[in-house]
């Protein structure tokens, strides 16, 4: 079993200060129904809306939040629309990993100067609640990063969105985005590592010590980029030769190229969160029972009861700084593409590399059931 090591990320160059995740926007085929799943299954609450009823003629967007997490689900209302084409190509998928910055114009200027492709030049949007600065650049596939400068803004999301005045869901205990993972083509991982180093001043977190074991079972190569404070973490995967067809290849095949594989969200009580999600109908990857035979030996003493982890299928891993608990949902749409992770960190700053063997055995069983292995 691999023993992951986590290095302290270096201080990112301060030309690109990041204040945190702002929102994750998904382009979907039917935002009204998707919103229902994110609310009723994942425990999000509807915070704002924009669409025909609010004067937007070509699309509908539902803004959902839980803890500090904000998801925006957007659909087009007609075929002849960029969003419709995106959904035809990729299925329901993440379009925008938006980052909060102190100065969107400066972030954009720095990024483009350092080689990023422009998607939207800096612009200012306003309503009676104040103004927000926005600018966007391209990353892998058709995914973009929007820089959001919102210090002056006191509205619920962005100008043009109407707040929803409805009772809030108590939620399932999801607190914040931990990391967003990109899948890229074979041989392209290092290109995108260099992109985040150059454009964002991020540094690579070295977290594999036994690459051979990891790739044999995961059939992927992975590197993780982090900002200087470790708030924003972008793992990048590419397929590798493994025992079976790589799940990354399957993703690229069905997604139609590179894109976001999973979004990990933190909780401070994963047992309660997974119980609640399960009760709401969310389905998780099955963990083989044999995984729990040696998990206590591998991970050691934890605050939780291993019986609860086994009952719910929660994975555990330890690195030099502590331990973490994690679990992965099944894919969130029919295409075997985007899924979600729930993670509870007790000091550990890794990504559960020690779970690769057990996790990817579980993923391969799902892949085989779809006839793609």
Among 83, 99, 264, 312, binds Fe ion (CB under 5 A): 264
CA pair distance 160, 157, nearest whole angstrom = 9
Residue 172 beta carbon to Fe ion: minimum distance, rounded to whole angstroms: 18
Does residue 142 bind Fe ion (CB under 5 A)? Answer: no
Q: Between 106 and 353, whose beta carbon lies closer to Fe ion?
A: 353
The nearest distance, CB 181 to Fe ion, in angstroms, is 6
Q: Which is nearer to Fe ion, 149 or 341 (CB)?
A: 341
Q: Which residue is nearest to Fe ion (CB)?
A: 264
Which residues have a Cβ under 8 Å from the Cβ of 338 and sit 6 or more positions away? 26, 92, 93, 94, 259, 260, 261, 262, 263, 331, 332
Q: Does 35 bind Fe ion (CB under 5 A)?
A: no
Identify residues 315-344 at the interface with Fe ion (CB under 5 A).
341
3-state helix, strand, coil in the chain (%, to 5): 30, 30, 40
Rank residues 39 and 341 by Cβ distance to Fe ion and give the closer one: 341
Q: How far apart are CB 76 and Fe ion at their closest, in Å?
A: 30
Min separation Cβ 36 and Fe ion, Å = 26
Packing angle, helices 356-369 and 211-218, rounded to 10: 20
Q: What would the two tokens of residue 352 be? A: 């559960």
Name which of 264 and 299 has its Cβ closer to Fe ion.
Answer: 264
**Using rule CB under 5 A, residue 25 touches Fe ion:** no
Residue 351: CB minimum distance to Fe ion, A? 5
Return the bridge partners of 265, or none.
177, 342
Question: Phi, psi (5° rounding) for residue 319?
Answer: -130, -170
Contacts of 336 (CB under 8 A, 6+ apart): 247, 250, 251, 254, 366, 367, 370, 372
205/264 with CB nearer Fe ion = 264
Q: What is the DSSP letter of 205?
A: E
Nearest approach, Cβ of residue 48 and Fe ion (Å) = 28
- Pick from 175, 150, 162, 133: nearest CA to 47: 162
- Options 59-67, 110-118, 123-131, 263-271: segment touching Fe ion (CB under 5 A): 263-271
Name which of 199 and 359 has its Cβ closer to Fe ion: 359
What three-state secondary structure class fits 216?
Answer: helix
Distance CA 370, CA 138 (A): 32
Q: Is 286 exposed, middle or buried (0-12, 13-18, 19+ CB in 10 A)?
A: middle
Residue 101 or 264 having the CB closest to Fe ion: 264
Is the Cβ of residue 263 or residue 271 nearer to Fe ion in the bound state? 263
Determine the size of the site formed for Fe ion (CB under 5 A).
Answer: 2
Does 73 sit near Fe ion (CB under 5 A)?
no
Report in angstroms how near the CB of residue 251 gets to Fe ion at its nearest. Answer: 14
| Smallest distance from Fe ion to CB 264, Å | 4
Gap between the Cα atoms of 269 and 199, Å rounded: 35
Residues that bind Fe ion (CB under 5 A): 264, 341
């Amino acid at each position: 079993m691999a023993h992951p090591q986590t290095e302290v990320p270096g201080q990112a160059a301060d030309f690109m200060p990041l204040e945190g995740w702002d929102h994750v926007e998904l382009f979907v085929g039917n935002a009204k129904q998707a919103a229902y799943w994110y609310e009723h299954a994942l425990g999000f609450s509807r915070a704002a809306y924009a669409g025909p009823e609010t004067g937007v003629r070509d699309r509908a967007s539902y803004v959902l939040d839980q803890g500090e997490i904000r998801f925006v689900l957007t659909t087009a209302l007609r075929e002849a629309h960029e969003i419709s084409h995106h959904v035809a190509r990729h299925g329901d998928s993440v379009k925008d990993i938006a980052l909060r910055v102190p100065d969107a114009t400066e972030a954009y200027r720095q990024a483009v100067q350092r080689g990023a492709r422009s998607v939207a030049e800096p612009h200012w949007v306003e309503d009676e609640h104040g103004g927000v600065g926005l600018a966007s650049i391209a990353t892998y596939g058709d995914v973009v990063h929007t820089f959001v400068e919102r210090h002056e803004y006191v509205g619920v999301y962005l100008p043009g969105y109407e707040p929803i005045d409805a009772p809030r869901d108590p939620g399932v205990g999801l607190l914040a985005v931990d990391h967003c993972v990109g899948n890229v083509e074979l041989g392209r991982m290092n290109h995108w590592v260099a992109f985040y180093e150059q454009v964002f001043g991020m540094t690579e977190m070295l977290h594999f010590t036994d690459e051979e074991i990891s790739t044999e079972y995961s059939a992927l190569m992975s590197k993780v980029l982090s900002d200087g404070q470790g708030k924003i973490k972008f793992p990048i995967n590419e397929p590798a030769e493994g025992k079976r067809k790589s799940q990354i290849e399957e993703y690229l095949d069905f997604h139609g190229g590179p894109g976001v594989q999973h979004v990990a969200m933190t909780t401070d009580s994963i047992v309660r969160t997974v119980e609640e999600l399960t009760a709401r109908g969310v389905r998780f990857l099955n963990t083989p029972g044999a995984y729990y035979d040696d998990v206590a030996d591998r991970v050691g003493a934890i605050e939780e009861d291993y019986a609860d982890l086994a009952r719910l299928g929660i994975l555990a891993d330890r690195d030099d700084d502590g331990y973490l608990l994690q679990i992965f949902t099944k894919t969130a749409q029919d295409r075997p593409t985007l899924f979600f992770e729930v993670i509870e960190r007790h000091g550990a700053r890794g990504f559960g590399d020690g779970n690769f063997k057990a996790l990817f055995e579980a993923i391969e069983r799902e892949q085989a059931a779809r006839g793609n292995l």
